[in-house]
Amino acid sequence: MSDDFLFADEIPEPEQPEQASSHARWKVLIVDDEAEVHAVTKLALSDFSFQGKNLEFISAFSGAEAKALMQQHPDTAIMLLDVVMETDDAGLQVARYIREELCNTHVRIILRTGQPGQAPERQVIVNYDINDYKSKTELTAQKLFTVVMSSLRSYRDILAIDHSRQGLEKIINASANLFSAHSMEQFIDGVLQQLTSILGCNDDALLVTSSLVAGNPGEDTNPEHLIVFAGMGEFEKKEGEPVTKVLDQPLLDAFYAALKTRSIVYKENYLVAYCTSKFTHGSLLYVSGLPGQITDSQKKLIELFSQNVQIAYENVQLQHEIEDTQREIVYRLSEAVEHRSIETGNHVKRVAFICYDLAKAYGLPEEEAEKLMFASPLHDVGKVGIPDGILNKPMRLDAREWEVMKTHATIGYDILKNSKRAIIQAGAVIARDHHEKWDGSGYPDGKKGEDIHIYGRIAAIADVYDALRHRRCYKSAWPLEKVVALIESESGKQFDPKLVALFKTRVEKLEAILKKYPDSEEDDIR
């Protein structure tokens, strides 16, 4: 061939790295229209190893073939690229395609040419995003070894930086709403990614936590009480599973040792870190694929990380506890209002779940549906301002009494309207609008159609459905067929027609809610 490699007669043996892994390799794409160049390159690098990984060679004999192979192998580490192939600038077009169309900035492109005058080095370096330029005549086996080694180090570092950037992006994106369950998982996933990047290990990592972490775990060190909270690599889809089903016995033993000693257990290629804080304990962090000996600075980082993970988890638990407390207060206060009107039982709880079901069927986002569910128990809070004689009158109200009764919608709105809490604000809207009617004949403001807030429209149909299906001081419980017929007859009058149509398709599920939360054993629905 015309462009032979010139190999030195004696090539000093490079320092042998650790034994190479058989399942992990660095991909090297050789692009040249001469088969002998491929054979010589593979021979010269046949025993090459870097960080325990050998080379995997991929061959392309034209620019077009190189473009197709790069689409199939975006994780290629190095491309040894000839310039002149099917055209005089075929290699340069490949380089431009990779950077500009595939947007692959990771692969290290080493341009090799047997005709330097065809592609002057200065011009090529300036105009094309390549990483090295070599004449084939200057590439001895030793120089080829050197350029591949330096290119792989660059590729490794670029991957580490990009890996770290991705983790940081996840943390930043999660920080805006850190204390919701979803974003906490995203936050932990991002931090795991950061840690594996900093330590230079692979993507297998997970955080497991005790089901008792938010309570008082005491001295319990049973691995059976641990579940996967977040995972990466082979553990990516294991969230929520017990560790006893996810891990093999040697790993379980390491987890048990970390729990028992309340420390970090280092093994040959993985670690298990015990996560604790001054409040609770019960979480473990597992990271595998450690590249070698962990330095003291890395150990300090792991210790700090394990503490911060637990603190972050506890913050989420505390936030959830606060939210649960607020919701329970709303329920109990709402039930107190119902008790005052001699309407004992689970009316407000049933209305809440019915509202949620109808909201999801209507197409409201999960966040809005949940807000409606948690706020709907406040729909009749204004009844605290209605005299007992009117509220609990066992017969039909006269005109004056009915006007007094109608004021409970405005009273409820006035009680809640100035709150800065989203759930209480939603409760104010529901209290005000749930007695408005689609045709404009409702109260307190005579709103019509979609001028009535969707929360009020949904709460209205949920409230009427549940009230009719249960006994009240002034009536007996209605059978289901009669309730459905009445609600259907009020489509376009009292109720939003779209909601009525959805209601008819959801009756079976709504009836299940009524049965799950009955008023009492003596007061079953009919």
| DSSP line for 476-522 | PPPPHHHHHHHHHHTBTTTB-HHHHHHHHHHHHHHHHHHHHS-S-TT
Sheet holding 264-266, edge to edge: 226-232, 205-210, 281-288, 270-276, 264-266
Alpha-carbon span 482 to 478, nearest angstrom:
6
- Span between the terminal Cα atoms of the chain, in Å: 94
Alpha-carbon span 399 to 354, nearest angstrom:
32
β-bridge pairing 205-210 and 281-288:
antiparallel
The single residue of 27, 238, 371, 383 carrying the catalytic annotation is: 383
| Nearest partner of 217 among 277, 174, 300, judged by Cα | 277
Burial class (CB in 10 A: 0-12, 13-18, 19+), 439: middle
| Nearest partner of 151 among 137, 138, 132, 164, judged by Cα | 132
β-bridge pairing 108-113 and 132-135:
parallel
> 52: left (phi > 0), else alpha (psi -120 to 50), else beta?
left
Q: Does the annotation count 406 as an active-site position?
A: no
Which residue carries 């990984």 as its tokens?
53
Contact (Cβ atoms closer than 8 angstroms) between residue 173 and residue 74: no
Farthest-apart Cα atoms in the chain, separation: 114
Q: What Rg, from alpha-carbon coordinates, does the chain have?
A: 35
Amino acid at the residue 365: P
Where in the sequence numbering do the catalytic residues fall?
383
